[in-house]
Amino acid sequence: MKKCLECGSEKILQNAETEERTFILMIKAFGKPDAIVFKDAVTSKVKAKVCVNCGYVQFYATNLSELNRIYEIHVNSYNTKK
C-alpha cells in the first residue's frame, strides 16, 4: 500500500505488528487439508500497514516462500481434478 486505499494519504506506517493481548495473529494454511494427520501445515506471521491519516489497516503475510509452496499444491490439485 503506497497510498491509503481509503483516503489517498501517503502517510503509511509500514511493518506494524499485530497482537491481541497475549495472542499473535497468524496465517495458517494446509498443503493437505483433507488429511487426518500430516496436513502439511504452514504458518505465517501477519504484519500490518496503517494509514496514520485515517486509520485504514491492510494486513499482509510474511512467510511468502512457504505460502507460495502451499498455493502451488492447491493449484496443481485443482488442475488435476478438472
Residue 52 touches Zn ion, criterion: CB under 5 A: no
Q: Which is nearer to Zn ion, 4 or 29 (CB)?
A: 4
Of 24, 26, 54, 57, the residue at the interface with Zn ion (CB under 5 A) is: 54
Alpha-carbon distance 22 to 66, whole Å?
Answer: 25
Interface with Zn ion in residues 5-24 (CB under 5 A): 6-7, 9
Of 29, 50, 51, 70, the residue at the interface with Zn ion (CB under 5 A) is: 51
DSSP the chain: --S-TTT----EEEEEE--BTTB--EEEEESSTT-SS---EEEEEEEEEEETTT--EEEEES-HHHHHHHHHHHHHHHHHH-
Q: Which is nearer to Zn ion, 7 or 25 (CB)?
A: 7
- Interacting residue ranges for Zn ion, rule: CB under 5 A: 4, 6-7, 9, 51, 53-54, 56
